[in-house]
Structures are given as C-alpha cells and as structure tokens.
Amino acid sequence: MAINQKQVLSLQQKLSPQQIQMIKLLELPTVQLEQRIKQEIEDNIVLEEEERTPDEGEPREISVDEYLREDDTPAYKSRINNFSKDDKQRPVYLTGGRSLQEYLIEQLGYRDLSEREMRLATYLVGSLDEDGYLRRDLESVADDIAFTQGIETSPEELERLLGVLHELEPAGVGARSLQECLLLQMDQQPVQTRARRLARKILTNYFDEFVKKHYEKLIARLQVSEEEFRAAIDEIRHLSPKPGNLYSEGGTDTTPYIIPDFLLDYHDGRFDLTLNSSNVPEVRVNRRYVDMIRDMVGADGTVKEKDREALQFVKSKIDSAKWFISAIKQRHDTLMRTMQTILDYQKEYFKDGDRSKLRPMILKDIADRTGLDVSTISRVVNSKYVQTQFGIILLKSLFSEAMQTDSGEEVSSYEIKNLLQKCIDEEDKRRPLTDETLMDMLNARGYHIARRTVAKYREMLGIPVARLRKQI
C-alpha cells in the first residue's frame, strides 16, 4: 500500500484548564478546599492570603488588565462577604492521637524482652490490621521477617511472642479469629460468674451454633434454663468483636469531626442559608508583581530584551492566579445555587427534620431546576454536609427514589424504610419476620414492592436477616 498524507477536518470537544480546575474544586469539601487553596498559594508566587475584615462590603471583580491600567485599585476578593461585625473566625483545631500500633509498642516497652524479641514482637504488631486481628499465618510472617529483617525465626517462637501480645490492651488484640478474640477478652475478666463460665463454654465448644443462632438446640445440649442461657448471651454481647476499632482513626485522643459546607438557620418562618467559609482563606493577586510588570513595560509599551522572560513568567502566574480565583468564585455560586434549589424542593423537611416529609428527589430533578448538568449536581452533593437546627445532614442522603401507593400518591423510599424499620422493631424476636412476610405487610398497607426490594432496603438499614435477629 502507498503511504500518503491527507487533511481531515473534525470537531473535538476538550476541557479547558479552567474547566478542569473548576471540576476538581467543585468536588472538594470545605476542609480539603482550605488545604487546596494553601497549596496553590505555595505554588503560585503571585497569590497571597488576605486577612478578612468583618465590616468589608462586597467587592467588585477586577481583571488583570484593570490592575495594569489603574493606580489605586481595591484588592480582588474571591467570595461574597457573608459575615457580620459580631462574627468571629473560628479556626479548626486538629489533634493527632496514638495509633493502635504505637499504643501496643509502648506497652511492649514495659515487658522484659530481649532486643531480638522486641524486634520480632514489633513486626507482629505491624502485621495487625485496623481491627486488631492478625490475618496471616505465622509461617508466612516468619518468611517475611527473614527477607526484610534478616532474622531467622520459627512459627513456634512467633507463637510465644504472640501470646505476649494477647496480654496487652485492648483485650483481644492479636487474635486470629473472632472466636479467639472473644475468648481472649473473657480470659482477662477477673471475676468468673456462672454466666461467664457458661458463656466461655458456648464460645469454646458451640461457637458455630452460637453464630448461627441455633438457640433452642444450644439450650437442649447445655441443659440450662432460658434465663441462664440469656445471661450467658448478654455476657458475650458485652465483648468487642473488633478490639482495634478505637484506634483505627488515630486512637481515643482524637474525635472525628465533620465540618459542614453549608449553614442553614430557620427562625420566624424564614430560612437563612450561607456557605461555611469561616476557615477558608481569601486570596488575591499580590500587587507587588503587578507593579513589577508596570515597571518592565515602558511608556511606549515596549519591553527590554532582558525583561521579556521575567515578564512572560509573571504574566503566566497572574493568569493562573486569575483562573484559580475565578474557579473558587464559580464554585461558590454553583454550590449556593444547588443548595438553594434543594432547600426549596425539601422546604417542609428542613423546617423540623422529619424524614417522613422528604419528597422523592433524584439528581435530575435538581439538575432540571438549576439548569446544570446531572454530573455537576452529583459532584456538588458528594461528600458535602449541611448544618441545620436538628443536626448535620449529608446532602447525598436527601436523595431518594419515588414509589407509588395504591392511591397513586408518590412517596419517598425513606417513608418505606421507616415503615420497614417500625415493623422489625415491633416483631416478636423469638419469631422474626422474614422478608416475604415483611413484603406482604407492606403490600397490605398500599406499598407494592417486591421481596428483593425489601431485602435491599433492609440491608441499607443495616438490619440482618430474620435468622440472625432471633433472640431468646
């Protein structure tokens, strides 16, 4: 085949750098936006953080060209000022707590261990998962230690050191199974009552039957009364299946905080919606670099050869800064526009927080009302929270599918979930309701849904199947 060249005219749609920057900023919650702005200030020399003054009015937008033309131009502001004179900037304090591994290594320091044993025990601690379990077999751990640490060891030696870990706090740490974890916790209980002895016997000899909740079979095999069996089960329920949970997010020294992206107040029949930006720094273009450009450009508009490269560099940084500031402002406008539409759509719910008043709402409903794309609405509501008088709400949780009743009325799936939760709460725990029975009960009340839909809503509510809800 002959090789030839030809011209082809085609249309291609590509995102501009500013559009990509806007999309990325739109997805960020408030805390990450603060970090992103500070990172941009470090990367771009012409950007600087501006100290906000509570009594400033709303500034107008100033372009770079206006900077170059005017001598006395007010600083560009990135957002509308939503603060009164009485408002105070509230910083977010972050603390770093100890991890589970740090806590365990600290306890190992009080044990009479040789240097070799300490290194092996520390490696075992590093092999624990966030729940506090050792999910790998000791033979594989011994091989890893030989390759990474250069220490020859045996599974038997590691087993002995693992026994040392089992004596540390929190109780049950270093277990290799749920059964071992619960038994380790029972070993550290000083008082051995009849209920605890029975509980230990159940965990040791009848663990599979206990997990499957074959309670009648267990009572018959153990030859105990229901009261005695119930007391033993209560002892087991007081144990923790995941002893490392307290330290999975940095230990008990830290508390997970949610920083809301929107603040919504309701009083005297009126809503007051604001964007939470108390900790987000305001940015502007540093006037020193604008003056630098003015000095480089002569009266006739020419630039010296030696200044051309510096001028081009500063101009590119100013353009980047202008794009970034514009993207922040556009993010502000998009978020407020979307949240205001959600507020108008769910006005009855936001008055008192009654979830039964939630209207069926999908992303397309808000997209149609705002004129924005569905993907934009999805980015806005993802990982965003609104603070109300009845708590902090995840925006994504406000969206639900619509279901029709016998009367033709559209109701939210939240209403069906609440009814499903109520039916399960009122059931006889000795004979829990199956999904098919729950389906019949909902159908009788006018909600026509399939059994698989009942199972899906039950799983979304975190409710186990009927067999696992059975109690004595």
Is the pLDDT assigned to residue 410 strictly greater than 70?
no
| Strand-pair partners of 274 | 263
Q: What is the full DSSP assignment across 28-87?
A: --HHHHHHHHHHHHHH-TTEEEE---TT--PPPP--HHHHHH-SS-PPP-SS-----TT-
Q: How confident is the model at residue 309 (pLDDT cuts 50, 70, 90)?
A: confident
Q: How confident is the model at residue 83 (pLDDT cuts 50, 70, 90)?
A: very low
Predicted local distance difference test score (pLDDT) of residue 252? 41
Give the pLDDT mean for 386-402: 85
Predicted local distance difference test score (pLDDT) of residue 80? 44
Predicted local distance difference test score (pLDDT) of residue 338? 92
Give the pLDDT mean for 256-268: 83
Sign of CA dihedral 365, 369, 374, 376: negative
Q: How confident is the model at residue 294 (pLDDT cuts 50, 70, 90)?
A: confident
Give the pLDDT mean for 284-310: 75
| pLDDT > 70 in the chain, percent | 81
| pLDDT top residue among 280 and 75 | 280
Burial 380-417 (b: 16+ CB within 10 A, else e): bbeebbbbbeeeebebeebbbeebeeeeeeebbbbbbb
Q: How confident is the model at residue 78 (pLDDT cuts 50, 70, 90)?
A: very low
Predicted local distance difference test score (pLDDT) of residue 368? 92
Give the pLDDT mean for 454-462: 85
- Per mean pLDDT, which range of 75-84, 200-209, 358-367 is the poorest? 75-84
Domains and CATH numbers, the chain: 15-86+256-399 (no CATH), 100-247 (no CATH), 402-469 (1.10.10.60)
Pairing of strands 270-275, 262-267: antiparallel
Q: How confident is the model at residue 366 (pLDDT cuts 50, 70, 90)?
A: very high
Predicted local distance difference test score (pLDDT) of residue 289? 81
- Per mean pLDDT, which range of 60-74, 218-232, 329-343, 454-468 is the poorest? 60-74
Q: How confident is the model at residue 341 (pLDDT cuts 50, 70, 90)?
A: very high
Predicted local distance difference test score (pLDDT) of residue 406? 63
pLDDT of 129-153, one tens digit each? 888 899 888 999 999 898 888 889 8
Give the pLDDT mean for 21-30: 79
Give the pLDDT mean for 312-326: 84
Give the pLDDT mean for 393-407: 76
Q: What is the CA radius of gyration of the chain?
A: 32
Predicted local distance difference test score (pLDDT) of residue 67? 45
Q: Alpha carbon 225 to chain centroid distance? A: 46
Torsion angle of C-alpha atoms 201, 204, 209, 214, degrees rounded to 10: 20
Helix-helix angle 363-370:374-381, to 10 degrees: 110
Predicted local distance difference test score (pLDDT) of residue 160? 92
Mean pLDDT over all residues of the chain? Answer: 79
Predicted local distance difference test score (pLDDT) of residue 343? 92
